[in-house]
A = this chain, B = another copy of it.
Amino acid sequence: MSAEFTPIPLRWVGPLRLTGDVEAEQEVPLATYESPLWPSVGRGARISRLVEDGIRVTVVDERMTRSSLFVADSAAAAVAASRAITARFDELGAAVSERSRHAKLIDLDTEIVGNLLYVRFALTTGDASGHNMVTLAAQTLMERVLSWHPELSYGSISGNYCTDKKATAVNGILGRGRSVIAEITIPAELVEKQLRSSAQRIVDLNVQKNLVGSTVAGALRSANAHYANMLLAFYLATGQDAANIVEGSQGFTWAEVRGDGDLYFSCTLPHLIVGTVGNGKDLPAVDDALARIGCREEREPGANARRLAGLIAATVLCGELSLLAAQTNPGELMQSHLLLERRKDSSS
């Protein structure tokens, strides 16, 4: 096996104007084969610069989780163990802290199915996304629990109640990763001029497509048009484990008509699994990109990662806004595609 690289086309787009928990006027790197994404995000970025507050970003929460599976003989034993483990939360927290400077146990949830006991550990992991930190912590915690409870046996270090790289409901309800909301209020005239649409049309489309359409499609805790595109491109450019776009792309676009035709537009991203240290972050291209977006500063642990998450959420908003506006106009979507890329999969 020889070392090589697959080069993914990269463009820097923006700058985006951010306020709130991240104050910045920042270009962002997007690595993707889908070149129409660049001008799409670029249009949103331009709008952000035309609005005084730009895109306001709020970081709601941060944590990383791993669920371990223990097998008991009976539900009665599983429930008893669950209560005992929960009662010794502080001891478990201390055990984690002994082995790691950065990982800190902050919560623990259990779920029982018959004699199967799933324990979901939640930790803060500083600036790391925390995959390895929580796995290491889970190993420590499993050993501890099994030493306390010989009536339990090892099921799995990871029991899919974590949940990593799968779309589920638990991540949003109990939390996983950085939870971020990006929002913007766009004056009516900018909506018309820059987006060639109206607040009402965008609001209606969001409800009919992202909410009703997703509902009938059988979506799960998700209502958006294409968060996955922006996440993929940003994740690749900054060394993130892009398999985490699977759960990261579950999120909610919400828009309202405000005042006399102004548009309130928001993207809620409850579980972005991202970090500025860890696997892949020391590759030169990644390191450069992280430095250029200001995520290599000396800050308190977690602050660089929160900045990263905020930039990602704002970028998602730019691309989502732009596509929805385009889809309010019959024909625009396709025309953009035709102009912006060489279509190889269509013969017409």
Indicate whether A216 sits within 8 Å of B114 (C-beta atoms), given known contacts A69-B208, A246-B167, A344-B281.
Answer: no
- Interface: A261 (CB within 8 A): no
**Chain A interface bracket (under 10, 10 to 19, 20 to 34, 35 or more):** 35 or more
Give bound CA distance, A232 to B245, whole Å.
10
- Interface: A40 (CB within 8 A): no
Query: Do the beta carbons of B217 and A223 come within 8 Å of each other?
Result: no
- Interface: A220 (CB within 8 A): yes
- Interface: A9 (CB within 8 A): yes
- Interface: A321 (CB within 8 A): no
With beta carbons under 8 angstroms apart, the residue of B20, B118, B275, B327 that contacts A158 is B327
Query: Do the beta carbons of B217 and A166 come within 8 Å of each other?
Result: yes
- A residues sitting closer than 8 Å to B (CB atoms) are 1-13, 20, 29, 31, 33-35, 38, 42, 56, 58, 60, 67, 69, 71, 74-76, 79, 99-103, 109, 111-116, 118, 125-133, 135-136, 139, 142, 154-170, 172-174, 181, 183, 205, 207-226, 228-229, 231-232, 236-237, 239-246, 249-250, 252, 254-256, 264, 266, 268, 275, 277-283, 285-286, 289, 327-328, 330-331, 333-334, 337, 341-348
